[in-house]
Amino acid sequence: MMNESNLEKAMRIYYFLLKEGELTFENNKELYLDCSDSDVRSVLEIMARESNVSIERYNQVVYLIPDEENDVLGIKDMDLQKVISYDARKIDFYLSQYIITVIILVFYSGKGGFVKSRDFIRLPELEEIITSRLAYANSRKNIEREQEEAAVNITAMYEHWSALQMEEPGKRKTKYGYIRSVCGFLAKHGLLIYDMVEEDIRPASKFTNLMMYNFLDSERIKLIDRLLGG
């Protein structure tokens, strides 16, 4: 039922989600209980639909998830492209996407209800996985046909990645520079816990919940893994 009280509660929940990223019983008991009210949820659903977002509860946590076409709250292509540098090119954007996809596969390649497959990875090991997957994917006999079907230029990414130095003081466009920038980007959005001293990353609970309940299924994992050289 749309009344002033329910509208006020829904707006408070929406604002809290925009500000904090997630709503739990622990971080705001009052709003969490309001979110369970069917009338308040009805108002929230209208607000979500009109602003191109979804408001979902996964594993007792409420999230606000921008739709793909959301050009205000969503991650824009240019945002990801500039993760590497302000003079980044399209190849930087595609390579950043590739690194993110490999991170997803590293942490979430399990089966059934155990989709999360490991708890952490150090950046040197992640670099080895990225390099070996790109090399293997680029070496396949049918790579040109698969690239055309998937609209992903593996060869261009492989050549660009192979030309990068492993590490170079003061330079961001290195293999480790790319990985650190992407990990920092995901950490900023609450998806990774990134220890810059130990150089390791761990998936945040938000990342795991979104992967388990909203994004991954067995067929999608197989498709991504096959394309990226699994």
Residues 48 and 103 in one domain: no
For residue 136, being part of any structural domain is answered with yes
Structural domain tally of the chain? 2
For residue 96, being part of any structural domain is answered with yes
Backbone angles phi, psi at 6, to 5 degrees: -65, -35
Residues 104 and 212 in one domain: yes
Cα gap 117→124, rounded to integer Å: 19
Residues 187 and 105 in one domain: yes
Residues 57 and 112 in one domain: no
Instruction: Tell me which of 66, 89, 115 is where a domain ends.
Output: 66
- Boundaries of domain holding 16: 4-66
Answer whether residue 127 shows pLDDT above 90: yes
Residues 127 and 44 in one domain: no
Residues 39 and 106 in one domain: no
Q: Which DSSP string corresponds to 144-198?
A: HHHHHHHT--HHHHHHHHHHS-S--TT-SSSHHHHHHHHHHHHHHTTSEEEETTT
pLDDT band at 66 (very low <50, low <70, confident <90, very high): confident
For residue 102, being part of any structural domain is answered with yes
Residues 44 and 89 in one domain: no
Residues 30 and 108 in one domain: no
Task: Return the higher-pLDDT residue of 52 and 33.
Answer: 33
Question: In 51-153, which ranges are continuous DSSP H helix?
Answer: 77-81, 90-107, 123-139, 143-150
The end-to-end CA distance of the chain, in Å, is 51
For residue 72, being part of any structural domain is answered with no
Per-residue pLDDT of 134-149, as tens digits, reads 888 777 777 676 666 6
Backbone angles phi, psi at 135, to 5 degrees: -65, -45
For residue 71, being part of any structural domain is answered with no
Strand order in the sheet with 61-66: 22-23, 61-66, 53-58
Backbone angles phi, psi at 109, to 5 degrees: -115, 20
For residue 106, being part of any structural domain is answered with yes
Per-residue pLDDT of 187-228, as tens digits, reads 988 889 999 999 999 999 888 877 776 665 555 556 555 655
Answer whether residue 79 shows pLDDT above 60: yes
Average pLDDT over residues 6-32: 87
Helix (H) or strand (E) holding 201: strand 200-203
Residues 19 and 86 in one domain: no
- The pTM (predicted TM-score) of the whole model is 0.69
Angle at 83 between CA 101 and CA 168, to 5 degrees: 95
Residues 223 and 142 in one domain: yes
Answer whether residue 58 shows pLDDT above 90: no
Residues 61 and 120 in one domain: no
Instruction: Name the 3-class secondary structure at 35.
Output: helix
Check which CATH number belongs to the domain holding 28 and give it.
1.10.10
Residues 23 and 97 in one domain: no
Instruction: Tell me which of 37, 66, 95 is where a domain ends.
Output: 66
Angle at 152 between CA 105 and CA 191, to 5 degrees: 35
